[in-house]
Structure 1
Amino acid sequence: MVALSNVSTVEELVAQKYIADESVTVQEVVTALIAKIGENMSVRRFERFAIENGIVQSYVHGNGKIGVLVELACEKQDPALAVIGKDIAMQVAAANPLFLNKDAVDNDALEKEKEIYRVQALNEGKPENIVEKMVMGRVNKYYKEVCLVEQVWVKNGDYTITKYLQEESKKIGADITVTRFARFERGEGIEKKEDNFAEEVQKMQGK
């Protein structure tokens, strides 16, 4: 529905006519499901990708627990793109990268990481003249953990995602680039109320 209606907000989406039954809205369908299964649910967020030269590939993991969209740019249309897109989407689902590449890393977050590494190195008693080298080494490790194209490919530990894309680009004779991705995990971002245990005991005792 999101692909066809081109809505931009959740409010607009739930007000749309349901694609399988235009006599009801999306919100009315959700409300009916809540009544049927007895569990609360809501449409919380969505992403819409569109690309002229390339593909958008989706992947759903764990019976809907994690959903991923990946956008691949490529000047040549090739059936292999769907397989490559799924591989990248599975990587996103499994490794949970925070950024696409080094350039996308939030500068404030990076400086915070650097300061943590710097303090750690000094606390380890390392000479100040080599602390900066250690910091940069740990920053590079940080990039490999949080940047999609820097990550080790989960299906082949000898490849990074960048190397995998380079190899596949050679096979089809055109450059393949990941331009963006989105990863949704069920319950992510929902704050759960945690009752204080002592207060709970007091309530049970009628205090």
Structure 2
Amino acid sequence: MAITAQDVNKLRQMTGAGMMDCKKALTEANGDFDAAIDILRKKGQKVSASRSDRETKEGVVLSQVNDAQTEGLILSFTCETDFVAKNEGFVELASSILDIAVKNNITDIDALKAAKFENLTVGEKIIEMTGKIGEKLEISALDAIKGEVVVPYIHSTGKLGVLVALANVNGSDVVEAGKDVAMQIAAMNPVALDKDGVDASLVEREIEVGKEQARAEGKPEDMLEKIALGKLNKFYKENTLLSQAFVKDNSKSIAQYLDGVSKGLTVSAFKRVSIG
């Protein structure tokens, strides 16, 4: 059957695919719109498979916090190029995926991909969009956090986000302090909340590095352990959040800054998600 320009435009409006792709799909499907949509989806799957080894170093980081400010979710949705990352359709899809995660209380990427998205699943929708855009797209990170007060922060680039959970909250005037801490985490990228949260293998590595440095400086063997432990304490101070110097006032640690805002105020957890 003859495929009209109106038919092609209708399918384009329904799917967002390119004009030529829509015409080819309709021709192959003999004018059957449902079959043409399936053909376009399969094309998306082929594009997805052909680009499966590509790296996705661009994209957006989005977050949502519930009305009570006690729970937050942060998502990283990535693509291959900055051009696509700034595409309105790409950002809208990322936002819709995050909405689905929040509404269904999903905190696992595989579970999110299996969740319903209109008449598809999220995973199928991503494949469909891959076919339209021609780039690999993926949910790269999905993290949840709970606390007495959860404060979100998205950096101006849109490729870095933080969620901070505050504890021992007395009064409501703590959100600005939470934002200050979130910006600190974005800038300084602490490895843990405090020294107790540092991975044991990282501690061992820092001790060994400290020993080797001291040995290279000609320090006596019986002093190496003590020197290395001193260097480890410096590592904790520079790389764990509560011990870090507050970037807005280096005379205070983050722990001291929060305690000054409200007695006992502290951070119970944080999540930092970055692209690239």
Q: 2:243 aligns with which of 138, 144, 150?
A: 150
Q: In structure 1, what is the Cα distance between the partners aligned to 2:119 and 2:178?
A: 36
SS of residue paired to 1:44: strand
Compared CA separation, residues 82 and 75, structure 1 to 2 (3 A):
closer
Deviation, 1:8, is: 3.4
TM-superposition CA deviations, 1:16-43 (whole Å, max 9, x none): 244xxx4554335434543454432111
Q: 1:69 aligns with which of 145, 158, 163?
A: 163
SS of residue paired to 2:161: strand
TM-score under structure 2 length normalisation: 0.58
Which structure has the larger Rg? 2
| 4+ runs deviating over 6 angstroms | none
User: Are 1:182 and 2:271 matched, yes or no?
Assistant: yes
Higher percent of residues as strand: 2
Q: In structure 1, what is the Cα distance between the partners aligned to 2:205 and 2:241?
A: 20
Q: In structure 2, what is the Cα distance between the partners aligned to 1:116 and 1:26?
A: 45
Please say if residues 169 and 262 of structure 2, whose CA atoms lie closer than 8 Å, have aligned partners that are also in contact: no
Aligned equivalent of 1:200: none
TM-score under structure 1 length normalisation: 0.76
Please say if residues 3 and 48 of structure 1, whose CA atoms lie closer than 8 Å, have aligned partners that are also in contact: no
CA RMSD of aligned residues (A): 2.1
Aligned equivalent of 2:126: 30
**Aligned ranges 1:42-191 → 2 under 5 Å:** 42-51=138-147, 54-78=148-172, 80-170=173-263, 175-187=264-276
The percent of aligned pairs where both chains have the same amino acid is: 40
Letter in 1 for 2:185: V
SS of residue paired to 1:39: coil
SS of residue paired to 2:211: helix
SS of residue paired to 2:165: strand
Q: Which runs of 5+ in 2 are unaligned?
A: 1-98
Deviation, 1:62, is: 3.7
